């Protein structure tokens, strides 16, 4: 039987292989490697583990990754000054601020202080605006990873009815822009739902592809999906589990165990969208190196 699981781990490993090749070519031609700076404020356990995963992946690919760990009580002024220094640092190709930030910091103001040329998370107004106008530069890694997953498993989005549940700047909005764009990997009819949407099930039941990114388990239940549709579960939720060594396990935003019987394809959590996000971040850092060094052909 053909597996219904969309194996993000496997698909991302072939992207990593291509990136490793590209980075080794960069190193032999330019005698330097792309460099990413990750700014981690405070000690949120999920953020620490995401940053570790990014650091490990960069190291494997040959990207220099510096993690700047700042105290929870860092001031907005000091954080923006640090970002500004990096904006002018010729050694730094890309930077990301690990989100969420402690509540007292103005997340939006801090993100907008990153130079759009180094904003490899694609969250500045300039980069989101470029995406909206059909000239993408840096696109947020998770939406890019979802688009890549669909492409790699041979799903043509053109003309498909896609429902996205979640309208964040990190996931839902850029994903809607990507999938509805006039492009080979776009051309879909996209509907965005959010916490104020009514009767979401009436929309998802008509969808060929449902993408759920809310941060709440069981947002998408089996009654909400149509036979043979495709479900992409972006959610990552930590659930207490005393049988696990670390005391928790990860689940998505959909009722995976029940939905898998109905759909034709579904991403697991973990092992679906997560590994793609990391691969696409590394791809954005490599792209930043190429743009910032004005490299025409590798």
Asked if 122 is part of the footprint of ligand NAP (rule: CB under 6 A), the reply reads no
Asked if 214 is part of the footprint of ligand NAP (rule: CB under 6 A), the reply reads yes
Instruction: Tokens for 12, please give them.
Output: 């991302």
Find the Cα–Cα–Cα–Cα dihedral 45, 49, 50, 51, rounded to 10°. Answer: 100
Dist CA 39 CA 67 (whole Å): 6
Q: Least distance (Å) from ligand NAP to the CB of residue 156?
A: 23
Between 23 and 163, name the residue whose CB sits nearer to ligand NAP: 163
Instruction: Tokens for 80, please give them.
Output: 């923006």
Between 49 and 195, name the residue whose CB sits nearer to ligand NAP: 195
Q: Is 104 a catalytic residue?
A: no
Between 171 and 176, name the residue whose CB sits nearer to ligand NAP: 171
Asked if 216 is part of the footprint of ligand NAP (rule: CB under 6 A), the reply reads yes
Q: Is 253 a catalytic residue?
A: no
The SS3 call for residue 209 is strand
Q: Which of 277, 283, 284, 286 binds ligand NAP (CB under 6 A)?
A: 277
Q: Is 54 a catalytic residue?
A: yes
Match 């009767």 to its residue by tokens: 199
Compute φ and ψ for 66, nearest 5 degrees: -105, 125
The SS3 call for residue 181 is coil
Dist CA 6 CA 170 (whole Å): 22
Q: Least distance (Å) from ligand NAP to the CB of residue 144?
A: 11
Q: Which of 116, 143, 268, 274 binds ligand NAP (CB under 6 A)?
A: 274
Stretch that binds ligand NAP, among 17-25, 155-163, 233-241, 279-287 (CB under 6 A): 233-241
Asked if 196 is part of the footprint of ligand NAP (rule: CB under 6 A), the reply reads yes
Q: Are strands 230-233 and 237-240 parallel, antiparallel or unpaired?
A: unpaired
| Of 167, 162, 175, 173, residue with least CA distance to 203 | 162
Stretch that binds ligand NAP, among 57-65, 84-92, 112-120, 167-175 (CB under 6 A): 167-175
Asked if 168 is part of the footprint of ligand NAP (rule: CB under 6 A), the reply reads yes
Asked if 267 is part of the footprint of ligand NAP (rule: CB under 6 A), the reply reads no
The three-point CA angle 53-58-59 to 5° equals 100
Q: Are strands 189-193 and 248-251 parallel, antiparallel or unpaired?
A: unpaired
Between 82 and 180, name the residue whose CB sits nearer to ligand NAP: 180
Alpha-helical segments (H) within the chain: 8-30, 45-61, 76-88, 107-112, 125-132, 141-152, 172-180, 200-204, 256-259, 273-292
Q: Which of 177, 213, 251, 279 binds ligand NAP (CB under 6 A)?
A: 213
Q: What is the CA radius of gyration of the chain?
A: 19
Q: Which of 38, 209, 273, 281 binds ligand NAP (CB under 6 A)?
A: 273
Asked if 147 is part of the footprint of ligand NAP (rule: CB under 6 A), the reply reads no
Q: Which of 94, 122, 235, 268 binds ligand NAP (CB under 6 A)?
A: 235
Binding site for ligand NAP (CB under 6 A): 142, 165-168, 170-172, 193-197, 213-216, 219, 234-237, 273-274, 277
As annotated, the active-site residues are 54, 98, 121
């Amino acid at each position: 039987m053909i597996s219904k699981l969309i194996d993000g781990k496997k698909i991302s490993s072939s992207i990593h292989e291509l990136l490793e090749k590209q980075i080794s070519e960069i190193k032999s031609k330019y005698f330097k490697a792309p460099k990413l700076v990750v700014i981690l404020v405070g000690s949120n356990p999920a953020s620490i583990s995401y940053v570790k995963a990014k650091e490990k992946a960069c190291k494997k690919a040959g990207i220099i990754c510096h993690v700047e760990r700042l105290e929870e009580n860092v001031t907005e002024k000091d954080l923006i000054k640090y970002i500004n220094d990096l904006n002018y640092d010729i050694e730094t190709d890309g930077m990301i601020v690990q989100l969420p930030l402690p509540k007292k910091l103005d997340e939006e103001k801090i993100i907008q202080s990153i130079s759009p040329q180094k904003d490899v998370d694609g969250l500045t107004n300039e980069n989101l605006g470029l995406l909206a106008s059909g000239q993408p530069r840096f696109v947020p890694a998770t939406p890019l990873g979802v688009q890549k997953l669909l492409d790699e498993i041979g799903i043509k989005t053109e003309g498909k009815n896609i429902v996205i549940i979640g309208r964040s700047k990190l996931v839902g909005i850029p994903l809607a822009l990507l999938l509805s764009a006039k492009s080979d990997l776009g051309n879909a009819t996209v509907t965005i739902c959010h916490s104020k949407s009514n009767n979401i099930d009436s929309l998802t039941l008509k969808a060929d592809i449902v993408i759920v990114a809310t941060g709440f388990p069981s947002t998408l239940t089996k009654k909400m999906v149509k036979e043979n549709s495709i479900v992409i579960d972006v959610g990552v939720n930590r659930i207490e589990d005393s049988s696990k060594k670390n005391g928790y396990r990860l689940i998505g935003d959909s009722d995976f165990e029940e939905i898998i019987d109905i759909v034709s394809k579904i991403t697991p959590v973990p092992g679906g969208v997560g590994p793609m996000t990391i691969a696409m971040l590394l791809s954005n850092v490599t792209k930043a190196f190429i743009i910032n060094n004005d490299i025409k052909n590798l």
